[in-house]
Chain A
Amino acid sequence: MFDPIDFLNYLINGALVGLLYALIAMGFIVIYRASKVFNFAQGELVVFGGFVVWWMVIQTGLPLVVALPLAMVMSALFGLAIERIFFSRLVGESGFAMVMVTIGLLILIRGLILVLFGPQVRPFPIIFPLKPVIIGDILIPRSLLIGAMITVVVGLGLSWFFNNTRAGLKMTAVAEDHQVALSMGISVKRSIAFAWALGAVLSTLGAIIYLSGKSLNFLASDIGLSALPVALLAGFESIAGVLLAGLIVGAVQGLVTAYVDPVIGGAVGSVFPFVIMLVILFIRPTGMFGWRTIERV
């Protein structure tokens, strides 16, 4: 029968998973804003970040306090390298060409990971304690709870940065219009490079929260796909909106998985976010908080 405690459990855990999706979606959005490229390889960036952390902590044996910042730096460099090698040559090319490059990138990074780290399933270091947080009868995985807090802080912080600081508004100007940004003396190339570095760092952060204490192989990139409806639902320009979109998608997914899946006996839970996404896109094509085309009549 219906148990309110179970319901709360599903709801809260779903929402926390949703916030994890939101963190990954932020990576999508940061890159999209600056370079107008929808990066299909976002999930691969997560896996790459995960493997870098694994390699440093498990293989090299560095302590976490050293390994995690170092992994962030390495993923930032990786993002910069991607931008420099592939995208700085494509300035002025069609969006379609760039999206095709990201698909190529997806395949390339996947191959690179297989060559560098092999296909085996690796144990990911335990970064957050495994003991769940228990409030009354509600059980919350500690990594998700801490991760959710990090996501909210990072999301609100980035949102403030992009809307209030000079450096952030520079990036926002680039998001609006490359030519105008250029005429204002903003280096568009540098902004795009920074966005890729930031996107890669966010992915690595996502990997740490997602994979803490779990196992890791190249298939972990599926989380990129799960984050997609969150990014689309929020709209591709809004960083703060992605938090709310993540909560909605996660909570609904959690509840549907718990209550509908057993009845139908299928994976409705994993399909449902995409259904929400399609419905929202019918009603508001730019997502809930995306930039709507401003038309003056």
Chain B
Amino acid sequence: MLELSNVEVLYSDVILAVKGITLAVPKGSCITLLGGNGAGKSTTLKSISNVLMTEDGKVTSGTISFEGARIDGGDPAKIVRNGIVHVMEGRRVLSHLTVEQNLIAGGHMEPSTQSMRRRLDGVYDRIKRLASLKSRTTGYLSGGEQQMVVIGRALMANPKLIMIDEPSLGLAPMMVDEVFGVLRSLKDDGLTLLIVEQNTRVALDLADFGYVMEDGRIVLEGNAADLRANEDIREFYLGLNLEGERKSYRSIKHYRRRKRWLG
């Protein structure tokens, strides 16, 4: 459904943030993109939605295609219209508006008010919590509630593919479970998901397939189950050693603690 091949992203004509990545998101699948800070995960999503445009970045080589058509460098509004919605990192609610106003703004592409209302009811139905928060100003909601608002707002655009950037960022463990519960329900309904996460455990629990990015490159890919079992993932992203116990870092020299990916 969505294919990236050898995509390179350059910021301000000097900073190469993504150094040629290839990934595929098949229809109906849930893909996760893992990796540490500054690995280029968010930039990859921004290159797909082309929000990159506002940050003086551009795709300098490679192609991005969605349902067979090239979309790299396209108009962000058209990309959303095609069915890709990007939920940006950091719960970017329209903070002075109410929950309902946020959702209505998200449904701006619906052909009529009636169809928008139907969609709105659908969102309230799926994310029950939002229905009771309808008239609250989103800026004052809790982090988890705001995350629900932005996911709901993305659903209002009637997407085929939702790209979501770090939904667990800064949330309490219980809220993380609730947010991922919503994402699971979307997956079960056949929506295609591309999730960027640092919380490797919850992401691999939900996803079918994962990519690991480091320094602008994809260094590892595989089925979620394989990744969960992978020695390096266990050690460096899940914090487990081979026996499944927590590792004591006191016994190792600090420079060996971090995995160095060569390639």
Residues on A lying within 8 angstroms of B by beta carbon are 91-92, 163, 166-167, 169-170, 172-173, 176-180, 182-187, 237, 291, 294, 296
Q: Report the minimal beta-carbon distance from B238 to chain A, rounded to whole angstroms.
A: 31
A183 with B88: CB separation less than 8 A? yes
Q: How far is B97's CA from A180's CA once the two chains are assembled, in angstroms?
A: 13
Q: Per-residue 0/1 for B91-116: is the Cβ within 8 Å of any A Cβ (1 yes, 0 no)?
A: 01011110001001111111001001
Q: How far is B139's CA from A180's CA once the two chains are assembled, in angstroms?
A: 14
B54 with A92: CB separation less than 8 A? yes
A170 with B105: CB separation less than 8 A? yes
- Knowing A182-B76, A184-B80 are in contact, say whether A169-B96 is a contact too (CB < 8 A): no
Q: Select B88's contact among A170, A173, A180, beta carbons within 8 Å.
A: A180
Q: Report the minimal beta-carbon distance from B172 to chain A, rounded to whole angstroms.
A: 14
With A178-B54, A183-B92 given, name 16 new contacts (CB 8 A): A92-B54, A169-B97, A169-B104, A173-B105, A176-B94, A176-B95, A183-B88, A184-B80, A184-B105, A184-B108, A185-B76, A185-B108, A186-B108, A187-B75, A294-B140, A296-B140
B86 close to chain A: CB less than 8 A: yes
Q: Select A185's contact among B81, B104, B137, beta carbons within 8 Å.
A: B81
B-chain residues with CB within 8 Å of residue A177 when the two chains form the complex: 92, 94
B108 with A169: CB separation less than 8 A? yes
B-chain residues with CB within 8 Å of residue A185 when the two chains form the complex: 76-77, 79-81, 85, 108-109, 157
Q: How far is B116's CA from A166's CA once the two chains are assembled, in angstroms?
A: 9
Query: Which A-chain residue is minimally distant from B104 (CB atoms)?
Result: A169
Query: Which B-chain residue is minimally distant from A180 (CB atoms)?
Result: B92
A183 with B76: CB separation less than 8 A? yes
Q: Select A184's contact among B97, B110, B113, B153, beta carbons within 8 Å.
A: B153
A179 with B54: CB separation less than 8 A? yes
Q: Select B51's contact among A182, A187, A296, beta carbons within 8 Å.
A: A182
Q: How far is B137's CA from A294's CA once the two chains are assembled, in angstroms?
A: 10
Query: Which A-chain residue is minimally distant from B50 (CB atoms)?
Result: A182
Q: How far is B109's CA from A151's CA once the two chains are assembled, in angstroms?
A: 31
Q: Report the minimal beta-carbon distance from A205 to chain B, rounded to whole angstroms.
A: 27
B49 close to chain A: CB less than 8 A: yes
A166 with B113: CB separation less than 8 A? yes
A-chain residues with CB within 8 Å of residue B76 when the two chains form the complex: 182-183, 185
B243 close to chain A: CB less than 8 A: no
- Knowing A182-B76, A185-B77 are in contact, say whether A176-B96 is a contact too (CB < 8 A): yes
B54 with A166: CB separation less than 8 A? no
27 A-B residue pairs with Cβ-Cβ distance under 8 Å, sorted by A, are: A166-B105, A166-B107, A166-B110, A166-B113, A169-B104, A172-B101, A172-B105, A176-B96, A179-B51, A180-B92, A180-B94, A182-B54, A182-B76, A183-B80, A183-B88, A184-B105, A184-B157, A185-B77, A185-B80, A185-B81, A185-B85, A186-B77, A186-B105, A187-B75, A237-B96, A291-B96, A294-B140
B-chain residues with CB within 8 Å of residue A173 when the two chains form the complex: 94, 97, 105
B-chain residues with CB within 8 Å of residue A291 when the two chains form the complex: 96
Q: Report the minimal beta-carbon distance from A292 to chain B, rounded to whole angstroms.
A: 8
Q: How far is B105's CA from A166's CA once the two chains are assembled, in angstroms?
A: 6
Query: Which B-chain residue is minimally distant from A182 (CB atoms)?
Result: B76
B245 close to chain A: CB less than 8 A: no
A-chain residues with CB within 8 Å of residue B87 when the two chains form the complex: 183
Minimum-distance CB pairs A-B, first 8: A185-B80, A294-B139, A169-B105, A176-B94, A173-B105, A187-B77, A180-B92, A291-B96
B105 with A294: CB separation less than 8 A? no
B-chain residues with CB within 8 Å of residue A176 when the two chains form the complex: 94-97
B13 close to chain A: CB less than 8 A: no
From 23 to 76 in chain B, residues with beta carbon under 8 angstroms from any chain A beta carbon are 49, 51, 53-54, 56, 75-76
Q: How far is B96's CA from A237's CA once the two chains are assembled, in angstroms?
A: 10
A-chain residues with CB within 8 Å of residue B116 when the two chains form the complex: 166
B-chain residues with CB within 8 Å of residue A294 when the two chains form the complex: 95-96, 137, 139-140
Could you say which of B79, B87, B105 has the most chain A C-beta atoms within 10 Å of its C-beta? B105
Could you say which of B53, B77, B107, B140 has the most chain A C-beta atoms within 10 Å of its C-beta? B77
Q: How far is B86's CA from A172's CA once the two chains are assembled, in angstroms?
A: 19
Q: Report the minimal beta-carbon distance from B115 to chain A, rounded to whole angstroms.
A: 11
B-chain residues with CB within 8 Å of residue A183 when the two chains form the complex: 49, 51, 76, 80, 85-88, 92
Query: Which B-chain residue is minimally distant from A190 (CB atoms)?
Result: B77
- Knowing A177-B92, A294-B140 are in contact, say whether A163-B101 is a contact too (CB < 8 A): yes
B88 with A179: CB separation less than 8 A? yes
A92 with B107: CB separation less than 8 A? no
Q: Select B106's contact among A184, A237, A296, beta carbons within 8 Å.
A: A184
A-chain residues with CB within 8 Å of residue B110 when the two chains form the complex: 166
Q: How far is B156's CA from A186's CA once the two chains are assembled, in angstroms?
A: 13
Q: How far is B57's CA from A92's CA once the two chains are assembled, in angstroms?
A: 12
Query: Which A-chain residue is minimally distant from B79 (CB atoms)?
Result: A185
From 125 to 177 in chain B, residues with beta carbon under 8 angstroms from any chain A beta carbon are 137, 139-140, 153, 157
B-chain residues with CB within 8 Å of residue A237 when the two chains form the complex: 96
Q: Select A92's contact among B56, B80, B101, beta carbons within 8 Å.
A: B56
